[in-house]
Amino acid sequence: MLYHTLADLPLTRTAIISSLSIQGDLRRRIQDLGFSPGNTVTALFRSPLGDPTAYRVFDTVIALRKKEAKHIGITILEKEDLS
Amino acid sequence: MKSNYRIILAGNPNVGKSTVFNALTGLKQHTGNWSGKTVELASGSFRHNNCNFLLEDLPGTYSLISNSPEEDVARDAILFENPDLILIVADATCLTRNLILLLQIMEITPKVALCVNLMDEANRKHICLDLQKLSSLLGIPVLGISAQKRSDIRNLKEFISSVVAGKTSISSISPVRYPSPIEDAICKISPTLPNADFSALQKRFLSLHLLETRKSLPPSFSSLPPPVLSSIEQVVTEAKQTLFRQDISEIRIHDLIAESLFSRSRWITEQCISLSKTNTTTPSAIDRLLTSRWFGIPIMLLFLGLLLWITVSGANYPSSWLMQFFLWLKPYFASCLTFLSLPPFLILLLTDGVYQTVTWVTAVMLPPMLIFFPLFTLLEDLGFLPRLAFNLDRSFQRFGSCGKQALTMCMGLGCNAVGVTGCRIISEKKERFASMITNGFIPCNGRFSLLITLSTLFIGTLFPQNLGSVISTLFLLFLISCSVLLTLFVTGLLTRLWSKTLSAPFSLELPPFRRPKVMQIFIRSLLDRTFHVLLRALRVSVPAGALIWLLANVEVQQTSLLSFFSFFLDPFGKFLGMDGMILLAFLLALPANEIFLPILLMGYLSSGTMIEPANLLTLKEIFVSQGWTILTAINVMMFSLLHFPCATTLLTIKKESGSFLWTVYGFLIPTATAIFVCMITTGCWTLFHILF
């Protein structure tokens, strides 16, 4: 198990969100989209220019920029953890 | 049973809510396969079993926690409109997320029913939903449909009808229980809210609202008398202090609430869903292709290029047919006017001025739009557009904007007015305004034909036959790149000059590729975009046509007003590398860019009415005889590309921004850019000539 931010999540890997380090409206907006502690997120693909990255959360694909993703703390799941 | 019922439609973005709305009401409303489309409230109605059902379609929201105008509108409507039923539309393929909004709404009112849409998509993905179980767990009536099936819509009408009539029982289970410290706090705050104004459920919701210190409070709360408000505030502060002592800060309150909602939602879904193992960690093949490192952007540009090419080549014939038709019709129109015994002066004004302009605008505007917009809407429905925004976002970020601006620029290729309306999808205000102002840099269909003509005539003819057409196409691409670069540059300038507030987080939902319904697309784009824009343009063309005719035919000291003004503008025109008549034509083409060329010819040939050139070569002869050089052609192309947008676009900017000042900017900024660029080109050219 590794502790990182969402910006570090490699493509096709899944993680559980552990914390959010932004405040106020931005925080609520991110949570509304599903990036909330306890939820699972998978990094799917990246823009050809490198940013943003598309993440699957709650069966929806949402694109987030790196500058927002790095505020989302995650615990990357090893491939074996996914049953 | 009543005879009139009010229903509110709510749900996440992109679940097909508007498709359901359209199907129920038969109203053609604009929907596209990506979030953020419906920003205004739409209403419609349908009749069933001799009852009238009034339907209101709320903007799609992920939750009721106010963060944007859409969520404010949705929340207030649900809280205080007191509808007979709130119908939540959910996406069967991602139920958990959709349930969050549902649970939040159930916290406010018991009059809720759930319509699970996209059941066919779920079947295709081997997702099996036990709707009966879902209904019993939630305590509300649930119906599964595929909005595109007519029989399902009939079922939905029957479902709504029986729910409001009370035939299906609704048991009000408290949907979510929060951790006990928060529940205690709610118990303390609720009683302070006056019974007369709020129901028990509404009080619960408001208490949560107050605990979380959410910014915008509903008006019915803020309008309570001050002493009541202050006593409520006091209790709230005490409750928060109690929580703080238990190590629950304000941020933590929201987190706990969110976590409770998510876990309840997850739990309910897990009870009702069974799916065969699907790989959800890798993107679909199309996504991989469209966003691939080397091919992604080129493929998208190819699609856009194809779209443009089809539009331009496809529109030529219909345009000339329409013109011929209107020409044929003209004498009949004139004789109708003569029949009405109008004075000859007026008849000429109406036929050679108004009729000519209006029919010209229609003939030139309509065919390209009829081709461009359905194709564009097709791309939209396929989910192509959000991927375009996704791919290009990073470059736009550098200029203080976001990838969604790329989409508005694409819409601007069809018509700048539509591009400006499209700027609604950009949530950040300064970015939105900057996009609206710079949208005019992208050549719309009307200007495109001018650019092609001039490029072929003046650039292409410098080279032998086949090479010539290649070169002129390359020059066109060069012009478009100039537009794009200038758009980015000016956007960057504008966003930097604006106040340095933190921008809202950029997020974009990338919906799965859904099979589009071609017929629906055609009809929708027809009514929505094409006719709408055309009508607006025609409204401006009528007075413009009259004015142009007057200028061309009213004489002052032996010269027409037209020649008079062009003479007046000539020095400035020459300074910009053009001439007075060209500038005047640009000014008079404010109603619609399409009439620039006809007005110019009218002026050059001193005819009393706009004429169409017999063929391209005579056009070139006319220009050359008026002193045109390659420099003139280049400047005209540049000016046409960059100058103020047409009147329809300006009116649209006014409507979308709500600000007269910004509309003025929308006129001045492009014009200033155009003047500046023309000065530079002329300057460089003259310098080049002097030196060599």
Q: Which residue of B14, B15, B33, B62 to mutate against A (max A Cβ within 10 Å)?
A: B62
Say if residue B670's pLDDT is above 80: yes
Contact B281 A30 (CB under 8 A): no
Please give the C-alpha separations between residue B112 and each of B11, B61, B92, B204, in angstroms, as whole numbers. Answer: 12, 16, 18, 17
Q: Which of B278, B303, B280 is nearest to B290 (CA)?
A: B303
Q: Residues for chain B: how many in total?
A: 692
Residue B282: its chain A contacts at CB < 8 A? 12, 44
The DSSP line for B271-292 is HHEEE-----SS--HHHHHHT-
Write the residue in A12, A13, A49 that is nearest to B391 by C-beta: A49
Rounded to whole angstroms, how far apart are CA atoms B576 and B450? 19
Q: What average pLDDT does the segment B502-530 reach?
A: 72
Closest CA to B314 of B357, B373, B356, B360: B373
Which chain A residues contact residue B397 at CB under 8 A?
A: 51, 65
Model's pTM, two decimal places? 0.81
User: For the residues of B346-396, what is the DSSP string, one character each?
Assistant: HHHIIIIIIIHHHHHHHHHHHHHHHHHHHHHHHHHHHTHHHHHHHHHHHHH
The CA radius of gyration of chain A, in Å to the nearest whole number, is: 12
Are A59 and B67 a contacting pair at CB < 8 A? no
Token representation of residue B110 = 């018991």
- Torsional class of B140: left (φ above 0), alpha (ψ -120 to 50), beta (otherwise): beta
Residue B149 has φ and ψ, to the nearest 5°, of -95, 125
Calpha distance B580→B632 (Å, rounded):
12
Q: What is the ipTM of this complex?
A: 0.91
- Using the Cβ of A40 and the Cβ atoms of chain B, whether some distance falls under 8 Å is answered with no
Distance from CA of A24 to the nearest CA of B (A): 8
Q: Is the pLDDT of residue B676 over 90?
A: yes
Chain B closest-CA separation from residue A54 CA (Å): 8
Residue B493 token pair: 């300038």
Q: Measure in Å the smallest separation between the Cα of B96 and chain A Cα atoms.
A: 6
**Burial class of residue A18 in the structure, from the number of CB atoms within 10 Å of its CB (0-12 exposed, 13-18 middle, 19+ buried):** middle
Share of chain B above pLDDT 90, in %: 12
Sequential DSSP letters for B562-610: HHHHHHHHHHHHHHTTS-HHHHHHHHHTSS-GGGHHHHHHHHHTT-SS-
Average pLDDT over residues B109-123: 88
| Cβ pairs bridging A and B (under 8 Å) | 131
Q: Which two tokens stand for residue B627?
A: 């002193």
Q: Do A45 and B394 touch (CB under 8 A)?
A: no
State mean pLDDT over B247-272.
85
Task: Look up residue B526 and give its DSSP letter.
Answer: I
User: Of the candidates B282, B283, B509, which has its C-beta nearest A62's C-beta?
Assistant: B509
Contact by Cβ (8 Å): B88, B115: yes
How does pLDDT run across B124-160, given as a tens digit for each residue?
Answer: 888 888 888 888 888 888 999 988 788 888 899 889 8
Residue of A nearest to B294 (CA): A48
| Chain B touched by A4 (CB under 8 Å) | no
pLDDT (average), residues B521-538: 73
Average pLDDT over residues B101-107: 87
Contacting residues of B for A32, CB less than 8 Å apart? 62-63, 65, 67
pLDDT at B30: 46
Contact A28 B65 (CB under 8 A): yes
Q: Closest Cα of chain B to A10: distance in Å? A: 11
A32 and B251: CB-CB below 8 Å?
no
**The predicted structure's pLDDT at residue B213:** 66
Write out chain B residues lying below 8 Å of A38, CB-based: 259, 262-263
Q: Look-up: residue for tokens 């499209």?
A: B422
- The CA-to-CA distance between both ends of chain A, in Å, stands at 15
Angle formed at CA B56 by CA B55 and CA B62, multiple of 5 degrees: 130
Selected for mutation to probe chain B from A12, A16, A49 (highest B CB count within 10 Å) is: A49
What is the rounded (10 degree) CA torsion for B568, B569, B574, B578?
A: -130
pLDDT at B29: 47
What band does B17 get if pLDDT is binned at 50, 70 and 90? confident
- Cα-based angle B523, B524, B527 (whole degrees, multiple of 5): 85
Residue located via tokens 């009528």: B542
> In this complex, is the C-beta atom of A42 within 8 Å of any C-beta atom belonging to chain B?
yes
Q: What is the mean pLDDT of residues B304-331?
A: 84
Residue B114 is inside which H or E element, if any?
A: strand B112-117
The residues pairing with A17 across neighbouring beta strands, listed in sequence order, are A74
* Nearest-neighbour CA in chain B from A28: distance (Å): 8
Residue B659 has pLDDT above 60, yes or no: yes
Using the predicted structure, report yes or no on whether residue B502 has a pLDDT greater than 60. Answer: no
Token pair, residue A70, equals: 């790095």
B178 falls in which pLDDT band (50, 70, 90)?
A: confident
pLDDT digits (tens, 9 = 90+) for B377-435: 888 778 888 899 899 998 888 888 888 899 899 888 888 888 898 887 787 778 888 99
Could B510 and A42 be called an inter-chain contact, meaning their C-beta atoms sit closer than 8 Å?
no
Chain B's closest residue to A33, CA to CA, is: B62
- Candidate from B66-70, B263-267, B300-304, B433-437 with smallest mean pLDDT: B66-70
B255, B297, B505 ranked by CB distance to A26: nearest: B505
Query: For strand B273-275 and strand B127-129, is the pairing parallel, antiparallel, or unpaired?
Result: antiparallel
Q: Is A2 on the interface with B (CB under 8 A)?
A: no
If DSSP codes are grouped into helix, strand and coil, which group holds residue A44? Answer: strand
**pLDDT at residue A54, rounded to an integer:** 92
Mutation target to probe the A interface, by most A beta carbons within 10 A, among B394, B428, B502, B514 is B394
Mean pLDDT of chain B: 82
Interchain CB distance below 8 Å, A51 and B394? yes
